[in-house]
């Protein structure tokens, strides 16, 4: 059965009201149609739909009867909760006196009446400690409380009663369709936050803004259009000022994630460990992939299946690229064959239930052994990665990691005679010829997003010094497309990337993904051991 949507609500509005073009809550519609409990009149949606949901008064009475207690809820404080509370304290200190609105986001339509699997906005997950898919339409609000900082309130959809139409007829939110939502009390116990009905959001935002001590209102504007629409009438100032204020909030939320705390590092370790197991399953699946018309999909399925079992799923679309496809940096079509003698570039990461994701790449010889030409390119990439590892430590600027890798890449390409200038000239800003064969950067931050902290300012990201607790990738590569006439013929069609996840420590870095072999000899031995 598809998760067909049969009705929708817009929770951030006050009860019984709705913005233009939005539907009223189901309960409000029912009350208006048959306040005395009689037969409901068909609405416009019913008139054109194929639904067969019973709505007789007799059925409504019957469906509400005979239910035992719901299963016991988890009411223990989540391990993430104390860490999330400290993050909110830092955010509060950055915007004293201002109302801060961070929505989780709504369900997103995939097509027709089917939704994508839900994932909350990363800033919301970071500040609440909530992951997976339990809080569609939720909103975190930091209400200013004068010199006392902020009162943190989580607005959520409450559980619908079994006597409500939502319970049995709403395929997007109804308990019979998608399972029970946690109660407000349970969510409060798990998160340590004050939890209230999201129907109160508009009125409580209005009251908070009207408080004489309030100096401003900011929202993560792109997270939930309905919440942004509720916020809009409460704001003053020119549109440019409003956008700038919201952008400052988004930047601050991104920079808040640059240094990971102890709990976050633990989640990333779990995600990496599950990713290692996914790579092992891929090696076992390679014999099945060879000769299959969509061998890349066989590989993708092996990893993605492991990710779904071991965690929440994949943290991004898996890149399963064999042969010349490995020279397409973000190859996610994964519909090509896996041929004997080729290399397979697998860029994949398991996302934990907390939504923290790994991001690891290994380039594997399909037959289990590298050819001499493949090994030559592989070794050049490995040497570039090792050069990046050698400079990475606290106090080094983030961009210096990339520069170290590029020196090796330029040197090897020069030695192979493919550069029109020497390596030193190519490395100058006016040159960069070597980037033809490695167009991407060497590193990016990693966390709740695979490209984490992407809204951080340049001076806090690329030009910033590495600090203990930062987690990022080291992932140089070389990509020689099959039709590249400037490259030696024997190297054409070879694409190699080696990517590891790196934690900055007090005196250096730790390779979180070191359990996966990196040298060519180690890769060959590892593959042989898995194939028996």
Instruction: Look up tokens 């009411």; give the residue.
Output: 75
280 vs 523: CA distance, rounded Å: 11
Task: Specify the DSSP element, H or E, that contains 416.
Answer: none
- pLDDT value, residue 128: 97
**Rounded percentage of the chain residues whose pLDDT exceeds 70:** 91
32-41 mean pLDDT: 39
Segment 194-199 mean pLDDT: 97
Q: Residue 100's beta-bridge partner residues?
A: 142, 218
What the block records as the tokens of 399 is 């961009």
| Phi, psi at 445, each rounded to 5° | -65, 155
Q: Which two tokens stand for residue 494?
A: 């070879």
Cβ-based neighbours of 362, under 8 Å, separated by 6 or more: 279, 345, 346, 498, 499, 516, 523
CA distance 64 to 69: 13
Q: At residue 436, does pLDDT exceed 70?
A: yes
Assess whether pLDDT exceeds 50 at residue 48.
yes
Closest residue by Cα to residue 431 from 454, 456, 414: 414
Q: What local confidence, expressed as pLDDT, does residue 132 receive? A: 84
Q: What is the mean pLDDT of residues 84-112?
A: 97
User: CB of 21 within 8 A of CB of 132?
Assistant: no
Torsions phi, psi of 306, nearest 5? -65, -40
Mean pLDDT along residues 262-290: 98
Mean pLDDT confidence for 304-313: 97
Residue 26: predicted pLDDT = 30
Q: pLDDT at residue 318 above 50?
A: yes
Give the SS3 label for residue 259. Answer: coil
Mean pLDDT along residues 247-272: 98
One DSSP character per residue, 345-384 reads EEEE-EEPTTS-B--EEEEEETTSS--HHHHHHHHHHHHH
**pLDDT tens digits for 493-506?**
999 999 999 999 99
Q: Is residue 372's pLDDT more than 50? A: yes
CA–CA distance, 144 with 88 (Å, rounded to integer): 12
Task: Flag whether pLDDT at 15 surpasses 50.
Answer: no
Q: Report the distance separating Cα 28 and Cα 458, nearest Å.
A: 49
**Domains within the chain, CATH numbers bracketed:** 81-160+178-255 (3.40.350.10), 262-531 (3.90.230.10)
The per-residue pLDDT for 36 is 37
Cα–Cα distances in angstroms (integers) from residue 107 to residues 157, 296, 394, in the given order:
13, 30, 41
Q: What are the tens digits of pLDDT across the range 136-151?
A: 999 999 999 988 899 9
pLDDT, the chain, mean: 91
Residue 446: strand, helix, or coil: coil
Closest CA to 297 of 308, 284, 286: 286
Q: Is the pLDDT of residue 29 over 50?
A: no
Angle at 342 between CA 339 and CA 343, to 5 degrees: 125
Interval 113-118 mean pLDDT: 93
SS3 343: strand
Distance between CA atoms of residues 439 and 432, nearest Å:
10
Element spanning 201, H or E: helix 201-210
Q: Of 13-17, 152-156, 515-519, which gets the smallest average pLDDT?
A: 13-17
Which range is least confidently modeled, 59-63, 79-83, 124-128, 321-325?
Answer: 59-63
237 backbone φψ class: left, alpha, beta (φ>0; ψ -120 to 50): left
Reported confidence tier of residue 121, pLDDT bands at 50, 70, 90: very high
Of 109 and 24, the one with more pLDDT: 109
């Amino acid at each position: 059965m598809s998760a067909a949507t049969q009705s929708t609500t817009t929770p951030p509005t006050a009860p019984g009201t709705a913005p233009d073009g939005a539907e009223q809550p189901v309960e409000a519609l029912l009350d208006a149609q048959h306040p005395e409990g009689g037969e409901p009149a068909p609405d416009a949606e019913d008139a054109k739909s194929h639904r067969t949901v019973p709505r007789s008064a007799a059925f409504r009475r019957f469906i509400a009867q005979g239910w035992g207690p719901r299963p016991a809820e988890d009411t223990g404080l989540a391990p993430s909760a104390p860490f999330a509370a400290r993050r909110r304290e830092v955010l509060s200190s950055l915007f004293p006196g201002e109302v801060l609105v961070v929505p989780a986001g709504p369900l997103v339509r995939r097509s027709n009446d089917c939704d994508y699997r839900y994932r909350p906005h990363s800033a919301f997950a970071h500040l609440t400690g909530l992951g997976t898919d339990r809080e569609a339409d939720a909103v975190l609000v930091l209400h200013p409380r004068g010199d006392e900082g902020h009162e943190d309130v989580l607005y959520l959809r409450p559980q619908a009663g079994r006597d409500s139409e939502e319970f049995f007829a709403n395929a997007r939110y109804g308990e019979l369709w998608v399972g029970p939502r946690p109660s407000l009390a349970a969510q409060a116990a798990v998160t340590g936050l004050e939890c209230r009905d999201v129907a109160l959001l508009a009125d409580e935002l209005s009251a908070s803004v009207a408080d004489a001590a309030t100096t401003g209102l900011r929202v993560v504007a792109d997270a939930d259009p309905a919440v942004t629409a509720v916020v809009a009438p409460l704001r003053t100032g020119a549109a440019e000022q409003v956008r700038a204020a919201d952008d400052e909030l988004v930047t601050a939320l991104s920079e808040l994630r640059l240094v990971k705390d102890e709990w976050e590092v633990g989640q990333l370790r779990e995600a990496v460990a599950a990713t290692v197991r996914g790579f092992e399953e891929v090696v076992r699946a390679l014999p099945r992939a060879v000769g299959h018309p969509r061998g890349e999909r066989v590989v993708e399925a092996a990893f993605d299946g492991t990710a779904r079992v071991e965690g929440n799923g994949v943290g991004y679309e898996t890149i399963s690229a064999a042969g010349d496809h490995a020279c397409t940096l973000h190859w996610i079509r994964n519909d090509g064959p896996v041929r004997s003698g080729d290399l397979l570039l697998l860029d994949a990461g398991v996302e934990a239930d907390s939504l923290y994701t790994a991001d690891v790449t290994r380039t594997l010889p399909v037959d289990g052994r590298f050819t001499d030409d493949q090994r030559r390119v592989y070794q050049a990439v490995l040497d570039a990665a090792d050069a990046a590892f050698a400079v990475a430590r606290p106090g080094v600027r983030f961009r210096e990691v990339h520069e170290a890798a590029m020196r090796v890449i330029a040197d090897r390409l020069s030695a192979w005679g493919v550069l029109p200038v020497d390596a030193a000239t190519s490395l100058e800003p006016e040159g960069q010829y070597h980037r033809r064969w490695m167009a991407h950067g060497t590193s990016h931050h990693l966390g709740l997003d695979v490209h984490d902290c992407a809204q951080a300012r340049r001076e806090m990201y690329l030009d910033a010094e590495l600090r203990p607790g930062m987690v990022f990738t080291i992932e140089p590569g070389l990509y020689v497309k099959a039709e590249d006439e400037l490259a030696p013929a024997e190297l054409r069609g070879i694409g190699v990337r080696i990517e590891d996840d790196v934690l900055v420590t007090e005196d250096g870095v730790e390779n979180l993904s070191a359990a996966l072999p990196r040298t060519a000899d180690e890769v060959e031995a590892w593959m042989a051991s898995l194939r028996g």
